[in-house]
Amino acid sequence: MSSPMSTPGGKRGRPSNPSTRNEAATSPPAQRRRGQPSSNGDLPLMPTSPPTDMPDPLQDTSLFSSPPHLHHFLPSEVDMSSPLMYGTPSSRVDGTPRSGARGTPARQRPDLGSVRKSKQVDLQSEPSAADGAAAAEQPAGQRLVIWGTDVNVATCKEKFQRFLQRFIDPSSKEDENSCLDLNEPLYMQKLEEISIVGDPVLNINCGHVSSFDAELYRQLVCYPQEVIPTFDMAVNELFFERFPDSILEHQIQVRPYNALKTRNMRSLNPEDIDQLITISGMVIRTSQLIPEMQEAFFQCAVCAFSARVEVDRGRIAEPAVCRNCNTTHSLALIHNRSMFSDKQMVKIQESPEDMPAGQTPHTTVVYAHNDLVDKVQPGDRINITGIYRAVPMRVNPRQSNVKSVYKTHIDVIHFRKTDEKRLHGQDDENEQRLFTEARVQTLRELAAKPDVYDRLSSALAPSIYEHEDIKKGILLQLFGGTRKDFSQTGRGNFRAEVNILLCGDPGTSKSQLLQYVFNLVPRGQYTSGKGSSAVGLTAYIMKDPETRQTVLQTGALVLSDNGICCIDEFDKMSDSTRSVLHEVMEQQTLSIAKAGIICQLNARTSILAAANPVESQWNPKKTTIENIQLPHTLLSRFDLIFLMLDPQDEAYDRKLAHHLVSLYYQSEEQLEEENLDMAVLKDFIAYARSYIQPKLSEEAGQALIEAYVEMRKVGSGRGMVSAYPRQLESLIRLAEAHAKVRFSDKVETIDVEEAKRLHREALKQSATDPRTGFVDISILTTGMSATARKRKEEITAALKKMLQSRTKTPVMKFQQLFDDLRGQSETAITKDQFEEALKALCDEDYLTISGKTIRLAT
């Protein structure tokens, strides 16, 4: 045989083998796989013998008795570790330390369907086709291919070894390669890792294979069942050649992932059957562990002769006659000595993002085998690489008709959790949203336009009239800043999310804006302050009705991690509920200590809140603080506070009316022409969020410094500190977000300018001191305007002076003192102001207040 695989370990063929083969082959025809051209002989890797060898495979037992590849000797050794095996290992293995390709047991790969589905009958029934193909190849220099495919084992193996030895990807950004030298062959380093760690699994990125050798990739995708074992062989040869002394639990298994064949469950179709596919989805259910019999062990009750039968597509052909003593029906199944493998059914469902509107999500059944069992939990979002299978419905022996429907499932080869990183709290954006080249091109073209910022902001909620600056603010919020990690220097992560508060008169379409944003972002949450409690926002513990275990149910803030949490009627929220927001809005985490569960969850969410003024109508004679009545600790955590006030201006009214009327008669198409498509906007934001990470440029840094100094100066003119570092951080975030809109990797001066403008615009409205007309950020940070603070100090000073002048009477009546002070002062003093002044003096330990009497401290 010219095949390179008539090979190692071949000596270990069991004598019983040929007969089992034959028995397997005689399973009812209805159970056999349906013949489709691509479905190849399921004898994985059975090297095609030259046509002369195979006129009749059923009789040609020699073909089987010298097992041509690893799978044939594996059943004997596979189960050293299995408690179900009672035989002494040494009686089967050569006895020597297990090392080298021969010594290391192979392990069955049920994921590849090593549950044999031999199709000898096909060879027989259509010999001409098979022979013809092989024969045609023959003259062209010993080109042997696996039946039904165009895979030549030797070439394939060689190609793959070359791939392993040569593939370098200097531009690799993958997290798992982080500690590897990018200029060395990537997979050789991984092999080295395997030799050290001892985890005999080699994950191969199909993208790499594809860029290295497109033909190999095509074969891998089309004939995974044949090609992957070839890869296994190749990698083991290579590995044990290089690390002859390493000891592994079993032979290395190759697990390809990221096959670009299919991304969406919806696009699976009959052509994908038996091909390698990658789909994404969410786990909705996992089954119990199912022990699946791989090989049945029969023992004759009369002569104790044993026979092994491999399971063939779920069926065991029970030997009717003992071949040793010829007793009929004497063989009994011995469960203990049969071989089982782990199997688990996992149901996955389309992720909500992938679904067309108005349809329900599809589900797919996935089988996980061996060590992939219990790797995923319900709720996980995963990418699955596996082989798509279709099995005809079981035939009812009593019925002649067959259900004409197939059951489909995926035998999983590789799981990849898409949100894995989120659990580790590292960098995220791992949702590799795939954009087609064309889409990226359109997005880039759009980003290159000089007015992209205005275009996008006008595309935001087009049905809501005006409020351009607010839309711009929300747009920047959607993009967010760059996430910075300062944990090295002890400050932890810097918040990248922008928080916005909208405050304004009823009926100014705040709710519509919130609804729009909630619909726009993939991970948005919408709550109303009236209906939400602190636990609803954070997390709560409940008893799972099925398992009786306490489970942590996450609330809106945690669910909108990496998204936007829209909170309507923010002012109606109770104080205790609001207080949970403090941590979220600055540290971006949520600490929970409940029912014995103490944990910290990530809640990197942007908050978009809407509030009505206290008197339901904005009172222009009051400050923002007075109008909103929110604790200033919370207010200072909002990057932008917008006031949505009714401008009460004729020109505005006219435009507004026109806008509204047009809503009622313009056709759908007309409107769509005018504005950017919501889908484009979505993609634009998703692309910018995951691929653009702008950094501050030198000039931008300078501009920011200047802006900050300026902001501080505004206050310092009156001897007040007006801007705090928090405002500087806000500016940086906004500038970064603006750079993202331009798809720029650098934050430049124009970004800072816009950030400054927007910040001023928002503040000009929200922090204008009604008494001075100045912009005054200190309102937000201390809850009091600078003039009010000044006034308070004046009164306190006056009161102190008055008290000092009458030290003779250390005890005074409250009312009397108040009247005295009022009489002394030129301006009116309210009772509140007086009390505040008293309190300030009290804090200075100058006096003590008990009820209505005031006593000077001595």
Regarding 286 and contact with another protein (CB under 8 A), the answer is no
Strands (E), 186-338: 201-205, 253-257, 276-300, 306-310, 331-333
Q: How far is the CB of 404 from another protein (least distance, A)?
A: 5
Stretch that binds another protein, among 10-18, 321-329, 401-409, 757-765 (CB under 8 A): 401-409
Closest approach of another protein to the CB of residue 423, in Å: 16
Draw the binding track, 102-131, toward another protein (x: CB under 8 A; -: no contact): -----------------x-xx--xx-----
- Do the Cβ atoms of 277 and 388 come closer than 8 Å? yes
Q: Does 671 bind another protein (CB under 8 A)?
A: yes
In whole angstroms, the minimum distance from the beta carbon of 524 to another protein comes to: 11
Tokens 């809109």 -> residue = 741
List b or e across 311-350, with b for residues whose CB sees 16 or more CB atoms inside 10 angstroms: bbbeebbebeebeeeeeeebbeeeeebbbbbbbbbbbbbb
Q: Which of 531, 674, 705, 717 binds another protein (CB under 8 A)?
A: 531
Q: Which stretch binds another protein (CB under 8 A): 285-293, 324-332, 577-585, 711-719?
A: 285-293
Distance (Å, whole) CA 635 – CA 663: 36
Residues 368-397 that bind another protein (CB under 8 A): 378-379, 390-394, 396-397
- Residue 636, Cβ neighbours under 10 Å: how many? 20
Helices (H), 499-639: 510-520, 534-537, 556-559, 575-586, 624-628, 632-635
Question: 93, 201, 345, 645: which one contacts another protein (CB under 8 A)?
Answer: 345
The C-alpha atoms of residue 582 and residue 265 are separated, in whole angstroms, by 40
3-state DSSP assignment of residue 821: helix
Q: What's the CA gap between 624 and 641, in Å, rounded? A: 10
Q: Are 385 and 257 in contact (CB under 8 A)?
A: yes
Contact window for another protein (CB under 8 A) among 311-319, 444-452, 572-580, 631-639: 311-319
Among 14, 162, 347, 789, which residue sits at the site for another protein (rule: CB under 8 A)? 347
User: End-to-end CA distance of the chain, in Å?
Assistant: 112
Give the tokens for residue 582: 């403090």
- Using the structure block, give the residue that is written with the tokens 């330990």: 845
Determine the interface stretch with another protein among 319-327, 435-443, 458-466, 630-638 (rule: CB under 8 A). Answer: 458-466
> What is the rounded CA–CA span in Å between residue 798 and residue 821?
8
Closest distance between another protein and the C-beta of residue 290, in Å? 6
Which of 314, 425, 717, 810 lies at the binding interface for another protein (CB under 8 A)?
314
Number of alpha carbons in the 13 Å side-chain half-sphere of residue 624: 34
C-beta of residue 101 within 8 angstroms of C-beta of residue 236 = yes
Binding residues for another protein restricted to 259-278, rule: CB under 8 A: 268-270, 273
In the chain, the amino acid numbered 839 is K
**Of 437 and 546, CB closest to another protein:** 546
Total residues binding another protein (CB under 8 A) = 100
433 belongs to the binding site for another protein (CB under 8 A)? no
**Residue 99 or 553 having the CB closest to another protein:** 553
Q: Which strand (E) or helix (H) includes residue 803?
A: helix 786-805
Q: How far is the CB of 381 from another protein (least distance, A)?
A: 9
- Provide the minimum distance between the beta carbon of 137 and another protein in the complex, in angstroms, as a whole number: 20
Cβ at position 648, least distance to another protein in Å: 5
Closest distance of CB 646 from another protein, Å: 7
Give the residue, chosen from 26, 35, 87, 97, that forms a contact with another protein under the rule CB under 8 A: 35
355 part of the interface to another protein, by CB under 8 A: yes
551 — phi, psi (to 5°)?
Answer: -125, 155
Q: How far apart are CA 663 and CA 667, in angstroms?
A: 8
Return d(Cα 762, Cα 502) in angstroms, integer: 10
Is 657 near another protein (CB under 8 A)? yes
Q: Which of 164, 293, 496, 735 binds another protein (CB under 8 A)?
A: 293
CA-to-CA distance for 587 and 581, rounded, in angstroms? 10
Q: Is 465 in the site for another protein (CB under 8 A)?
A: yes
Site string for another protein, 600-619 (x = CB under 8 A): ----------------x---
Task: For the segment 493-512, give every residue that binds another protein (CB under 8 A).
Answer: 506-509, 511-512
**Contacting residue, 358, 596, 719, 773, with another protein by CB under 8 A:** 358
Tokens of 712: 């501080």
In this structure, are strands 276-300 and 381-392 parallel, antiparallel, or unpaired?
antiparallel
Residues 193-252 that bind another protein (CB under 8 A): none
Using rule CB under 8 A, residue 253 touches another protein = no
Residue 400 vs 488, nearer CB to another protein: 400
CA dist., res. 728 & res. 748, Å (int): 16
Which range, of 26-34, 69-77, 172-180, 734-742, touches another protein by CB under 8 A? 26-34
Residue 187: in which H helix or E strand, if any? helix 186-197
Give the tokens for residue 278: 């990658």
| Least distance CB 650 / another protein (angstroms) | 6
Per the CB < 8 A criterion, the answer to whether 528 and 570 are in contact is no
Nearer to another protein, 338 or 833 (CB): 338
Q: Is 327 in the site for another protein (CB under 8 A)?
A: no
For 166, phi and psi rounded to 5 degrees? -110, -20
Angle between helices 468-479 and 725-741 (to 10 degrees): 90
Phi then psi for 623, rounded to 5 degrees? -80, 170
Report, in Å, the least distance between residue 35 CB and another protein: 4
Check binding of 650 to another protein (CB under 8 A). Answer: yes
Q: Which residue has the tokens 């997290």?
A: 175
CB of 407 to another protein, least distance (A): 5
Q: How far is the CB of 363 from another protein (least distance, A)?
A: 6
Position 359 contacts another protein (CB under 8 A): yes
Query: By CB under 8 A, is residue 670 in contact with another protein?
Result: no
